Structure 1
């Protein structure tokens, strides 16, 4: 299975957009991320609809941040992208009357629910500014 890389790619692009403090074209972002510009436009469309970025048309058009990095959480980006890579546990339904199968399904569902709550809480607590600070301290 191919991993869903939309979240890390979009976070990467958003931080660069903010740090560069200028409009960046889809082609420019695509080159930076080593992907196709059509993929960039598709990924960023949901963020525009959620008020995280703006798009301008024309020869000098492109994408720009509308909010400071400190006011944008990873959770907001994750939600705007439609929760990419968010897999759901598949329950076994081979033996619907079996109490063991029911217990297995219930146990795994509980674990997955707890894990998802923890991930969302961490995403909510982490701003794009936090990530940008990590990048600037790494240099």
Structure 2
């Protein structure tokens, strides 16, 4: 991926206090918080994820009746889906993801 995207993502995580960077030989990024206290929703918000769904018209044209009818039909369904997804993201901690990863791949990753 683009290095600028990585820097921007890590910067958001650092500003939220989830990671820290260390300069010099052997430096890099390190986790700076308890993974039990951070959820996927926290990460989504830290990296600046404004929208969960990229469906529908963001800047509706009031003169376009087709767009108006479609947006009205989708609006409540998208709001409901977003609330369900937010609840799910809030329920998954990074520690839970790390445990699942270790169960599946722990012996494949050099320590």
Same fold (TM over 0.5): yes
Residues 51-97 of structure 1: CA distance to partner in whole angstroms, max 9, x if unpaired? 1111122223211111121111010101111117732521764755x
Instruction: Verify: 1:126 aligned to 2:92, yes or no.
Output: yes
Alignment partner of 1:89 out of 56, 63, 70 = 56
- List runs of 5+ in structure 1 lacking aligned partners: 1-34
| Corresponding residue of 2:20 | 54
- Give the CA deviation at 1:115: 0.8
Counterparts of residues 10-21 of structure 1 (less than 5 Å): none
Instruction: Verify: 1:65 aligned to 2:51, yes or no.
Output: no
Q: Classify 1:84/1:63 alpha carbon distance in 2 versus 1 (closer, same or farther; 3 Å).
A: farther
- Answer yes or no: is the 8 Å Cα contact 2:19–2:32 preserved in 1: yes
> Distance in 2 between the 1:39 and 1:93 partners?
31
Alignment partner of 2:41 out of 67, 75, 80 = 75
Q: Classify 1:95/1:36 alpha carbon distance in 2 versus 1 (closer, same or farther; 3 Å).
A: closer
Number of equivalent positions: 103
> Over aligned residues, Cα RMSD in angstroms?
2.6
- Give the CA deviation at 1:37: 4.8
> Distance in 2 between the 1:68 and 1:81 partners?
18
Q: Name the stretch that deviates more: 128-137 or 65-74.
A: 128-137
